[in-house]
Amino acid sequence: MIEFYRRLYAAADAMYKAHAFDRTPTGPIIAFELLLLAFSAFTLFWLWKNQKKGVQQFLLAAGGLFLHQFFTSPMWHNYKLGWWSYLYQDISWISTFAWASMIMWAIVLVDRFFETLPDWKRFPLYLAFLAPAALVYEAILLKLGVSGYSPEVQQSISGYTLLGTPVETFVYVPVFMALVVSFTKYWSFYILGKPVIPLRSRPWLRSFSITLVSVLLFEITVEPMVQNVGFPAWAYLFHDITLVLTGAWVLLTWLAINLVDKFLIHFSLRGKFLAYLGIVFVGVLPAELWLIASGYRVYGPSTVAAFTGFHIPFTNLPMEVAFGIPLYFALILSFVKYWEIILDNK
């Protein structure tokens, strides 16, 4: 047993050294972190006092952010925040809480001042409130030297900037926030115990359209991480996003949702979500294995460098890819189901 723990410690130490980066903060960075902590603490206190299960909703937002950050972390870095700030590699809990605070204030303000609007009309207002704050926040992180982008991301952007940030950020931030806000709002139905009335007659085409939008949104945000190569020229939609793979993920997700909602209609919101995720995972995992082994999916150098070196037993699939599949689809499924619920329960 002692030998086992010794080897485990040695592996963890080697992994830490392999992913070493500059964690030493400057004075301005520490001051900014203290400001973020104060902002997050105030947000949590206000939510605790004024919002039903507000702290739980805050943690939902933070959880959704972490899912996205874990999956997409090779695309950028967060350095110099101090050793105390990091959860996993260069994912910072302080930054995650700051993002979650911004999301919660957007939700609270829109829900309070536009209470009479239906949910589907409030959603773009959440993003409208969030986008300016998020862009300013990103600009500050870039100015402080905390944030930066991987070589793959730098190659994929135009080089034009606005307010000190790449112009692509003005597309990426709303897309990224749309996924996380949907995740937060969807799971808020569960923790708040809001009644969600399922429809016996499924609007199949509408469901397919929402799924298509959701998958495309996420594909755009993670496009620099992995290259899809060897497909026919006609199959490429944008950069290396392919009609073949995107269509497959859309079809699988759509089928999983509709099959579960039809045959497991009596399940709880949580139970159905786990069923969606289970079906998708069983379908995607072998497909990803085959795509990597056949050379159709090639992960970029920054993504490979972030891998720990552990693989799924008896395969060449990195552990991070296997874990990334449910994280990726958890956000997609939340987006689809949130929009279905708010359109079904107008």
Sequence ranges of the domains in the chain: 12-194, 198-346
The band of 174, judged by pLDDT with boundaries at 50, 70 and 90, is confident
pLDDT tens digits, 319-328: 888 888 888 8
Q: Determine the pLDDT at residue 20.
A: 67
- Write out the two tokens for 73: 């972390």
Bridge partners, 299 (sequence order) = 226
Residue 318 DSSP code = B
Q: Determine the pLDDT at residue 297.
A: 87
- Write out the two tokens for 125: 């207002």
Q: Determine the pLDDT at residue 199.
A: 64
Residue 180 has pLDDT above 70, yes or no: yes
Nearest C-alpha neighbor of 63 from the set 329, 272, 327, 336: 327
Return mean pLDDT, the chain: 85
Q: Determine the pLDDT at residue 313.
A: 84
pLDDT tens digits, 51-88: 989 999 999 999 999 888 887 777 777 888 888 888 87
Type of residue numbered 304: V
The band of 241, judged by pLDDT with boundaries at 50, 70 and 90, is confident
Whether the predicted model's global pTM rises above the 0.95 cut: no
Residue 4 has pLDDT above 70, yes or no: no
Bridge partners, 110 (sequence order) = none
Least confident of 55-59, 144-148, 256-260, 285-289: 144-148
Can you tell me the distance from the alpha carbon of 206 to that of 246, in angstroms, rounded to the nearest whole number?
A: 18
Residue 159 has pLDDT above 90, yes or no: no
Q: Determine the pLDDT at residue 282.
A: 93
Q: Determine the pLDDT at residue 76.
A: 77
Can you tell me the distance from the alpha carbon of 127 to that of 140, in angstroms, rounded to the nearest whole number?
A: 20
Segment 233-251 shows an average pLDDT of 87
Q: What SS3 class is residue 9?
A: helix
How many other β-carbons are positioned within 10 Å of the β-carbon of residue 233? 5
Can you tell me the distance from the alpha carbon of 101 to that of 232, in angstroms, rounded to the nearest whole number?
A: 44
